[in-house]
Structure 1
Amino acid sequence: MAVPGLKPPAVAGWCLYDWAMSAFNTVIGTFVFSVYFTKGVAENPDQGSADWAFMLGLSGLAIALLSPVLGAIADRGGRIKPWLATCTVIAVAGSALLWLVKPDPAYALPALLLVGIASTAFELSNVFYNALLPVITPRSHLGRVSGWGWGVGYLGGLVCLVLCLVLLLQADPPLFGLIGKEEAQPVRATSVLVAIWYAIFALPLFLLVPDRTHEAGVTAARAVREGLAGLGATLKAMPKHANTLRFLIASALWRDGINTITAFGGIYAGIVFGMVEAQLILFAIALNVAAGLGAIGFAWADDKLGAKPTLLVSLVGLIITGTCMVLVGTSWWGWAPVLSLPLDFTPDQQWLLLLGMGLGLFFGPAQAAARSMMARISPPGLETEFFGIYALTGRAVGVIGPLAYGAAVTGLGTQRAGMATVIVLFLLGIALLSTVTERR
């Protein structure tokens, strides 16, 4: 039965963009390049993780300042896709240039600059990408389509990771002999694979998804002027919308926790549990499979039961599994049985693998339901501006996660202390969400 307002080809193109961009976050941001930087490029792993955290914090600050401004300008100009295309090109180019980063501390600063610029463009693209959601689906299906996008994205990151493993990291010779093994070429080549992947699978969105109508006579200068004025008026009025404001802050807290885990999960598994690259890839594959299934499986609950119940269940799951991941391998984990799965993992690594899958199961619903709830409460025609404010609150708070992680690691000398700061963000987020009223 056809659903009025639902555009299946456009939905497919929109979801494929999530498939495309997730490779950047999974391979570069979490499981491959971030670990390569901390263990192979930086002077030492702890200094590398602290530098990586500082870079992400500065990137988050730039995103916080730029996202609402660009979103407001795009709303006044009408069209979204040109802005999305610009951000996509910068993220793809930055990914490809990471091939130049060799395993030498002299390349640490260039690596941080490239990742910082690419990550900023990557996150800004989400402002425009999310604002296209109401264009392709009616409000009755916002939760499902948002969940499908997250699910497809996690699976896309999974497939790209498998290709990295098969073609580059475990292949002998790597890439059918086209590259060598010296100077970490197989690891560096994963960033080029991400760039190609991102570029190819982003194209269907630009071909299949309709843009918003462009108002005739709106020049670029007028769009900038009216966009900034409108943003100022919206921000001044936000205290009058206390319920929306509480949701924005609450979602920013748990999104920051999730982003911090994705940014440092590979580093945590590599340093604390001694996982090598092949194990990290398998760990990432298991987590992404669980995350994709969770996002798709919970998508119906968002539309049927509401975004808030979906979010509360997801956050409780994140708190429980995240706390267990901090405790594995310590005296507090002595009660747990010793696992002996048929895997080339130590017992503690096996527990981390299982808990990571549990964590992934709740990743997608927490992100997808937050996006659909934001789409529902955004005024028609101002979706990009409100998603800009959504990104603003996320990044204004988002500076806290990476910097707190880095400060905890530096101050207490252990990655576990850094990971524990994430649990605090989840607890604060769920406490504030409990005060939010969902209007359906």
Structure 2
Amino acid sequence: MTPPGKTRTRELYAWALFDWATSPFAAIVVTFVVAAYVAKAVAGSEVEGQAAWGWAMSASSLAAAVLGVFLGAITDAGGPRKPWLLACVLLQAGGTALIWYVLPEPNMLLFALVVVGLANLGSELGNVFNNAILADLAPRERIGRWSGFGWGLGYAGGLLCLVLALVLFLQPEVPAFGLDKDSMEHVRIVGPLVALWLLTFSLPLFLMVRDRPGAAVPDRAVIGAGIRNLRISFREVLQDRKLALFLLAAMLWADGLATLFALGGIYAAGTFGMTLTEVLRFGILLNLTAGIGAWLFARADDRFGAKPTIMAGLGGLILFGLGALLAPNQLGFEIAGATLGLFVGPVQSATRSMMARLAHPERRAELFGILALTGRATAFLGPMLVAILTTATGSQRIGMTPILLFWIAGMALLAFVPVSAGSGARRP
């Protein structure tokens, strides 16, 4: 008979592999290859494409935030999380696969934004349920370590998938499978590639990780209980000063990160004239440094607390983010951007671990839903400000400056959150 501890460890590795499965979507679709392709080849103008992409990401993220709160509350009341997560994975994979049909023509812009928006909706909702599963599996004193391990593994998966896309399709004179470069098949194929990657590597979680049992109550009662619990959770958040401050601060730095992910590839392509291949190479470098950062800071989270980890990460993001915006040439941008990547993973990972420690065991999914809502309720604001400033000034550099302001404001608010909130202290 296998000892329970080893069984749980295997489940945690299977859980972490889900980050490996989902990260190529963020790297290849949202940030680098597909974003740049839509802006340059479909929209026909980097400025117009950056603005349109920003609106699409805002709409899908806001929809995911609202739905995530209610679905999280329902799953907390009703038990199992994996069926909901499976539905999210299928939505994400289906929308991503349809990128194959996005031809390099202006009349395909709306179709491109819709299919990527649906895929992003599935991705964002899936994070709510996946994060709640971590809190169910990991010992409290090791949540930070496993969260960091998952983020690091995710960046490694994104890195490998980026390399495969580069070597097989984007760089060769004759792409694999004889794909036609004139109709951009060698770029469009990354959609099906990412979808297949997601479906394949998410299987261990669904096959190996035990789910919570379903509640023995009718579905209508589960929904009613979920909504009632949600009202209670919102009331508790408003009464808990440290949790409310943390959620507000997290909303701000999440807005900055989401805007960076959604528009960073377009900015690199438009400002420095980087080709799709060069953007992809930069994406590989950024995923490498982000993965290193996530692994380096994982133990620091458990040892020193999530708050110091997030503060250090935000400081690095602000410093090197400013360097990337002021970079006079492509080399300077790549150096600043790659260094910035070291601090992306720690902020994301420590945010997840801090919420897992703060969340009441019976409210985890809905509180992660509230975290997603606070992180996405104003997610439209970052891309919207970028779109407005880019359109008004005609400058992508000026258009991207709100990202830094979000990080600065989030760091300032986090300073007022009691240290015990990030050190694993139990919620009162």
Partner of 2:311: 312
Partner of 1:352: 333
Give the residue type in structure 1 aligned to 2:395.
T
Q: Distance in 2 between matches of 1:265 and 1:70?
A: 30
The answer to whether the aligner puts 1:293 opposite 2:292 as a matched pair is: yes
Contact 2:325–2:333 (Cα < 8 Å) also in 1: no
Partner of 1:373: 354
* Deviation, structure 1 residue 48: 1.2
Partner of 2:391: 410
Partner of 2:363: 382
Structure 2 alignment gaps of length 5 or more: none
Q: Deviations over 1:108-138 (max 9, x none)?
A: 0111111111101110000000000022210
Give the residue type in structure 2 aligned to 1:20.
A
Partner of 1:181: 181
Contact 1:167–1:176 (Cα < 8 Å) also in 2: no
Contact 1:38–1:44 (Cα < 8 Å) also in 2: yes
Contact 2:65–2:125 (Cα < 8 Å) also in 1: no
Partner of 1:158: 159
Contact 1:5–1:136 (Cα < 8 Å) also in 2: no
Q: Deviations over 1:215-256 (max 9, x none)?
A: 2x2222211111112112221332211110110010111111
Q: Distance in 2 between matches of 1:15 and 1:109?
A: 34
Q: Deviations over 1:264-289 (max 9, x none)?
A: 11111100011111111111111110
Contact 2:233–2:363 (Cα < 8 Å) also in 1: no
Q: Deviations over 1:331-377 (max 9, x none)?
A: xxxxxxxxxxxxxxxxx211111111111000000000010000000
Partner of 1:205: 205
Contact 1:5–1:138 (Cα < 8 Å) also in 2: no
Partner of 1:242: 241
* Deviation, structure 1 residue 5: 8.9
Contact 2:62–2:378 (Cα < 8 Å) also in 1: no
* Deviation, structure 1 residue 6: 7.9
Q: Distance in 2 between matches of 1:283 and 1:26?
A: 11
Contact 1:18–1:153 (Cα < 8 Å) also in 2: yes
* Deviation, structure 1 residue 33: 0.4
Partner of 1:26: 27
Q: Distance in 2 between matches of 1:5 and 1:166?
A: 38
Partner of 1:57: 58
Partner of 2:230: 231
Q: Distance in 2 between matches of 1:232 and 1:5?
A: 38
Q: Distance in 2 between matches of 1:280 and 1:410?
A: 23
Equivalent runs, 1:248-263 vs 2, <5 Å: 248-263=247-262
231-240 vs 354-363, greater mean Cα deviation: 231-240
Q: Distance in 2 between matches of 1:8 and 1:238?
A: 32
Contact 2:323–2:336 (Cα < 8 Å) also in 1: yes
* Deviation, structure 1 residue 188: 0.3
Contact 2:253–2:410 (Cα < 8 Å) also in 1: yes
SS at match of 1:183: coil
Partner of 2:101: 100
TM-score (norm 2): 0.96
Partner of 2:419: 438
Equivalent runs, 1:81-96 vs 2, <5 Å: 81-96=82-97
Contact 1:6–1:136 (Cα < 8 Å) also in 2: no
Partner of 2:137: 136
Q: Distance in 2 between matches of 1:78 and 1:96?
A: 31
Contact 2:100–2:192 (Cα < 8 Å) also in 1: yes
Contact 2:153–2:291 (Cα < 8 Å) also in 1: yes
TM-score (norm 1): 0.93
Q: Deviations over 1:359-412 (max 9, x none)?
A: 100000000001000000000121101000000100112121111111110111
Partner of 1:324: 323
Cα RMSD of the aligned pairs, angstroms, is 1.4
SS at match of 2:361: coil
Q: Distance in 1 between matches of 2:82 and 2:34?
A: 29
Structure 1 alignment gaps of length 5 or more: 330-347
SS at match of 2:288: helix
134-143 vs 359-368, greater mean Cα deviation: 134-143
Give the residue type in structure 1 aligned to 2:401.
A
Distance 1:375 1:5, change over 3 A: farther
Contact 1:50–1:410 (Cα < 8 Å) also in 2: yes
Q: How many pairs align? A: 419
Q: Distance in 2 between matches of 1:220 and 1:33?
A: 40
* Deviation, structure 1 residue 173: 2.0
Q: Distance in 1 between matches of 2:13 and 2:264?
A: 30
* Deviation, structure 1 residue 180: 2.0
